[in-house]
A and B are shown apart, each in its own frame.
Chain A
Amino acid sequence: MNSLAFGILAFMLGVYVLLDGFDLGIATIAPLIGRSGAERESAMRAIGPFWNGNEVWLIAAGGALFALFPKAYASAFSGFYLPFVVVLWLLMFRGIAMELRGHFATKIWRDFWDAAFTASSALLVVLFGVALGNLIRGVPLDADGYFAGSFGFLLNPYALLVGATAVAALALHGATFAAMRIAGAPGDRAAALVPKLAVVVLLGFVATTGATAAIRWHDLPALWTGALPVAALVALWLAARNAAAARARAAFVASSVFLAALFAAAAATLYPMLLPGFAGAKGIGIFDAAPSTGALISAVLAVAVGIAVVGIYGTLVLLPQFREKVTINLNP
């Protein structure tokens, strides 16, 4: 049951990465694919119907962590206090930037909010990457399971490497989405960007995988999980190839598979811990953090039913309504 709870949580976060990944990624590359304000606006309109719903997965995953593993929730959220608050501010600021940009039609106003939108989105991805990096590396926990280290500790070279790789990987994901959803020049530029980004992602991927193996050499996950990075590499190659061959939808699917494989590999590395201790400190695992079995079963049921409903709704009802491509609005 505890492993199932871990799986549900990993699934929810994985879905979040795939979904919010493309809208954070498209924001990161918006200045590269859009030369004018109207062209950049097409990037925002491409994600307009989706981004809010995508973020709901983050909220839901936070709630699920609280119900399933209260101790890990308490320790992680209070231990990463300032980074978490900064993430909240960036999430809000990003939404406000998207909303405000349209209300005054002057160039300087729009340029400012476009830049704010890109910067806050990219910074969010860096912070998410840094958080993931520190989870894999381990954090110094005291005897009560609380985080006992500084902000500086979190910004270590390994975590920053993961953060940088995350920016590149989500930029690629966003580019495949843009190629699929936006008609005209910005969509073409996004497609052309995919193979270039794939090279950057490959470099980051190799460096991160090497560093991870070096950090976790004493505690490598089961051998079969080695298949995940291999699958990821194949998917990355397919994403670049399909994008170059103007098969945008296939490229987006391949990029999704790439991210899912990477995320699954990270989750497999972490399992069965939720917050591993750094340098021999005792960490918090799936059995330390969960409530009693009965309480856990009812929490798992509540969360699983909710996910099923939303997943079915999202794929059956919402997505088909937004099939048509976004075109550039020349008279905004």
Chain B
Amino acid sequence: MSSGHETPDEGGTRASEAPAPTRRTAPRPGPPPEWPPAAGDATPPPGPGGDGDRGVTRGRFLKLSFAAAAGAVAAALGALTLPPLIAPAFRRQSPDWVALGRAGAPTPGRAGLPPTGAVARATFTRDVADAYLPRAPQTTTVFVADLGDGRYEVFDARCTHLGCPLVWDQAAREFHCHCHGAVFDEFGEVVSGPAPRALDRYATRMKDGVLYVGGLEGA
């Protein structure tokens, strides 16, 4: 494949043996015996502009310069493209506080909270931002437990194992996950099954007899 009558020399000039423009294919020089150098051979091939004493030829200098420039460009592109892609891992939303219910009897337009000692399923709706979409209402399901003395616990209704929805078993006073059989007691603690931790809770705040929920804690 190689006609072999041209010998590449590192950084040398070959103006005298320019191929004629009408040749069908320019010669493809094969690897000369000194290139690549054998393992451990640090002596570069001599050539014009080369610095044989210190092992840096002009060609090697150009190679390293090109490698450095390419590395700098790659680093710049990486520094530019990584932040947009990894930003979601660091984005934290602090959701608005929203009223969940009024203690005591239900009032028009507002559900009541469960009576003392009871656990009840409840929902609340708040506007949630989703990237470029307009803020839209999103309904969340929770379990509200009345601990007495006006204290309430608001549990996330998803299993801490893999996020399946939980069901409240009134008779057994337990939360059951039907995906993989996790069981939580009425205080959200793990009874059995694969759940790694107690139920996640929402931040709560009582104001004028109305229970407000904020962001999800734990998780």
Q: Do these two chains interact?
A: no
Tell me the B residues contacting A by CB distance below 8 Å.
Answer: none
Write the residues of chain A forming the contact surface with B, with a CB cutoff of 8 angstroms.
none
